[in-house]
Amino acid sequence: MSDCIFCKIAQKEIGTLIYEDELVAAFDDANPQAPVHVLIVPKKHIEKLLDVTQDEDKFLLGHILVIANTIARERSIAEAGYRVVVNCNREAGQSVWHLHFHLLGGRKMSWPPG
Ligand code: DGP
């Protein structure tokens, strides 16, 4: 989508990717909430988690989680612990309308989330 900031980052028009393959792109969050805070996004524009479909997107969703593991290992947060978060819709705190998975680590996390 032409006016979507995460589409522009995924297509390398702006910003810096730390990982990409044919399906996904990953980059550091501009407003990090932990020492490691990476966003993993599908290259195709999907507005939110609620919009994924079983037939089209189930491989993509599993792939994103596998890539989260890969990046967690690369960033040396895998063994201590990390969190993968998707905020879907307004009350969950979604502020960018392109599906993204937050990968957070490098500090002790609390529960429940705010
Ligand atoms: P959420 O609230 O779940 O929609 O998370 C959106 C995240 O995206 C938030 O942590 C800040 C980050 N973000 C917003 N705009 C940009 C941007 O232009 N570049 C990068 N790298 N991150 C952004």
Ligand 1 atom with minimal separation from the 93 CA: 2
Nearest to 92 by CA among 50, 29, 39, 58: 50
Is residue 98 among the annotated active site residues?
A: no
Ligand 1 atom with minimal separation from the 96 CA: 4
Residue 69 CA to ligand 1 center (angstroms) comes to 20
CB-ligand 1 contact for 32 (6 Å cutoff): no
Please report, for the chain, the start and end positions of each structural domain, with discontinuous segments joined by +.
5-105
Residue 23 CA to ligand 1 center (angstroms) comes to 19
Instruction: Give percent above pLDDT 90 in the chain.
Output: 97
pLDDT-derived band of residue 81, with 50, 70 and 90 as boundaries?
very high
Residue 109 CA to ligand 1 center (angstroms) comes to 20
What architecture is domain 5-105? 2-Layer Sandwich (3.30)
The whole-angstrom separation of Cα 6 and Cα 99 is 9
> In this predicted model, what pLDDT tens digit does every residue of 63-75 receive, in sequence order?
999 999 999 999 9
DSSP 58-92: HHHHHHHHHHHHHHHHHTT-TTT-EEEE---SGGG
Q: Is the pLDDT of residue 2 over 90?
A: no
